[in-house]
Amino acid sequence: MPRQLRLRVPIIPQPWRGTEQTKKGFRFKPRRVRDYQAAIRDHWQRNHPDHVPFSGPLRLEVTFIFPRPKGMMWKKKPMPRVPHTHRPDRTNLIKAVEDALNGIAWRDDAQVYTGNADKYIAGGEDQPGIIIHIEED
């Protein structure tokens, strides 16, 4: 039976950004990204304190839920979760999560061989966050 774990991180999804220009030149990873990844790692470690990192091939399923804009808020109409079709793009969102969980959920993010990522705008009762599902084959 494959091992699997699921985690919901209550944080507004952020993309991975490789460089940022500062007054002194370029910095490899902006502070915003470092703080975001640290929050994901901390949440993982609080919820799975005894987890031994996965060592086999992995399937990663991630759902990113963005805050609902005020222009999409209604009092009397239903507010279902809808696809998020604007920036940031999916690949940069996935990269940030994979890097954040490197060494604590799995040994190396190269183990992730397949998976899916979805981006949504929160429904009426939804809270922004990231839903992470990892399954080891």
Could you give the angle at which helices 31-47 and 90-100 cross, rounded to 10 degrees? 60
List the domain boundaries for the chain.
4-136
| Whole-angstrom distance, CA of residue 100 vs CA of residue 38 | 7
Beta bridge mates, 60: 115, 134
Please count the other Cβ atoms lying within 10 Å of the Cβ belonging to residue 69: 9
Q: What is the pLDDT along the chain (137 residues), one digit of tens a residue?
A: 578 999 999 999 999 876 656 666 665 677 888 899 999 999 999 999 999 999 999 999 999 999 999 888 888 888 889 999 999 999 999 999 999 999 999 999 999 999 999 999 999 889 999 999 999 98
Closest CA to 116 of 102, 135, 100: 135
Q: The domain 4-136 belongs to what CATH superfamily?
A: Holliday junction resolvase RusA (3.30.1330.70)
